[in-house]
Structure 1
């Protein structure tokens, strides 16, 4: 194990709760980090779920102010939650996959310690991702503010009819839309809900924001990619049980005439990937490109 680089002295561990058997993996990572001379802290919710009182706990703000990087052990949902909180502090994130897909938590449990060793020693690929910020205005006053790594989604309730939306971009009227809702996605989110709704894949380095209608009434209403300098305003014209959510994790209930202002956040997040990491390899693996069912060696 190499000496601790000055850039990574204090490391936060963020762990998905209620995951069977995760304690053993956490202890492996803790032992590895302590042996390497790193100071380790738990994120507050992680500390509450793990019975390891010898490890100090910090809030997300404390981690942002005191820690040099954060290791996230979980799935992409765990990563999304902490990434939004740490974005203002420029704390880089390392993801160990304890979930299913793992687009952002990309280090497998098997062989994770040698990979961590190389990343913390400075042998890694750093990748910055943009975020969206949204403000919900009612009668001109902000009632909810949120950040999104993946997407901001305006959608109808399960038992409600279509929602009618007006969409403006940079003070220019775009369209009135009748649909089940609208997804406003970052390039990171283009592999998430936006993709399942028929949106395009955007490379993470592209400066774009994609709008994807959810089951639009007019079949000609198609996804569109906008410059990430755009400001998007969505106004609720009509509908019941409408919500806006940020990464499917924070919500606000909406009423007719509410307006959602969405733009690129001034904050960004940095992922530290293993050396040799490739976005295209990730797509091929996670989306099962060029894979065929087994035919016992026959084509």
Structure 2
């Protein structure tokens, strides 16, 4: 049976940490997956950055807007960090994404590289599950002007610099004052990001179908400051009251040197990321495997 998806874009892991043998391995995997897709009747393109950094020049290339408008499937080969970056860029185009895990954890790249052909073949023929994941839209406001704007699939983090001393943050939700918090920082996480930094800060795991955000303080001075789950319709405002060298991070995108009085406004993005999973995929299976539950039981 021919593939349901005619025009497939390949995205690979090619960041600065991928060098030498790892880069050669990444290039070989991309080529192997491309040849497999061609045998299934797909037209394959690489995104320009993947082709440039891996040196794989055997296939046509497109930039991100061209992929969004011309392709009907994206295949991301790498780890969760790779998927975060591609997901943010492709969300506005509603391009469905499949993740093949060539990284470590793989919470959102859920197809093992060792068995990708067996798993991908029925998916390409239309046997898959669809899931939409929410995104955060964050803006840094300074003197009533937006000086930075970004999407985040995992989290928005405001934290102190490398020097000692806490931040004081004024927190409001939908214009209503919540508290002044003294802490090393604050995390606003999506359900997708609830398995990332927020979890390390004591936040809860959230099923991705839940419409909410986690707001979790980082090492708060007052121990009664606990993580809280907020509705995803909320707009959260974080104002820098005091503290030196504060920064804001939006997944892997950073803005350093926040100033006293800066406000970080966080709300739900109008865009979502669409994932395709194998038939029978289950979020609890992912948690059990990645978090090593039941081992030794």
Question: TM tier, shorter chain?
Answer: over 0.9
Offset of residue 252 of structure 1? 4.5
- Alignment size in residue pairs: 290
Alpha-carbon RMSD across the aligned residues, in angstroms, is 1.2
What's the CA shift for 1:253?
3.1
- Residue 242 (1) aligns with residue 246 (2): yes
Residues 248-282 of structure 1: CA deviation (Å, up to 9, x unaligned): 33434310000011001110011111111100000
> Deviation of residue 26 (structure 1)?
1.4
Give the match's secondary structure for 2:224.
coil
Task: Establish whether residue 11 from structure 1 lines up as the match of residue 8 from structure 2.
Answer: yes
Query: Which residue number in structure 1 is paired with residue 90 of structure 2?
Result: 86
Partners in 2 of 1:253 and 1:283 — Cα distance? Answer: 36
- SS of the aligned residue for 2:178 comes to strand
Distance 1:251 1:284 in 2: 35
1:49: how far off? 1.8
The answer on whether the counterparts of 2:134 and 2:153 sit within 8 Å (CA) in structure 1 is yes
The Cα shift of 1:24 comes to 2.3
Partner of 1:281: 285
Q: Secondary structure at the match of 1:131?
A: strand
Residue ranges of structure 2 left out of the alignment (5+ in a row): none
Q: TM-score, normalised by structure 1?
A: 0.94
Match of 2:161 in 1: 157
TM-score, scaled relative to structure 2: 0.95
- Is the 8 Å Cα contact of residues 78 and 109 (structure 2) preserved in structure 1? yes
Say whether the 8 Å CA contact 1:81–1:249 is kept in structure 2: no
Aligned: 1:60 with 2:64: yes
Q: What are the residue-to-residue correspondences of 1:209-228 with 2, within 5 Å?
A: 209-228=213-232
Deviations 1:5-37 (A, max 9, x none): 2xx211110000123412222121111111222
- Show CA shifts across 1:48-71 (max 9, x none): 122232312222222111111110
Q: Which residues of structure 1 form unaligned runs of 5+?
A: 293-298
Look up the match of 2:75.
Answer: 71
Q: Is the 8 A contact 2:245 2:256 kept in 1?
A: no
| Residue 202 (structure 1) aligned with residue 206 (structure 2) | yes
Aligned residue number for residue 28 of structure 2: 24
**4+ runs of 1 displaced by more than 6 Å?**
none
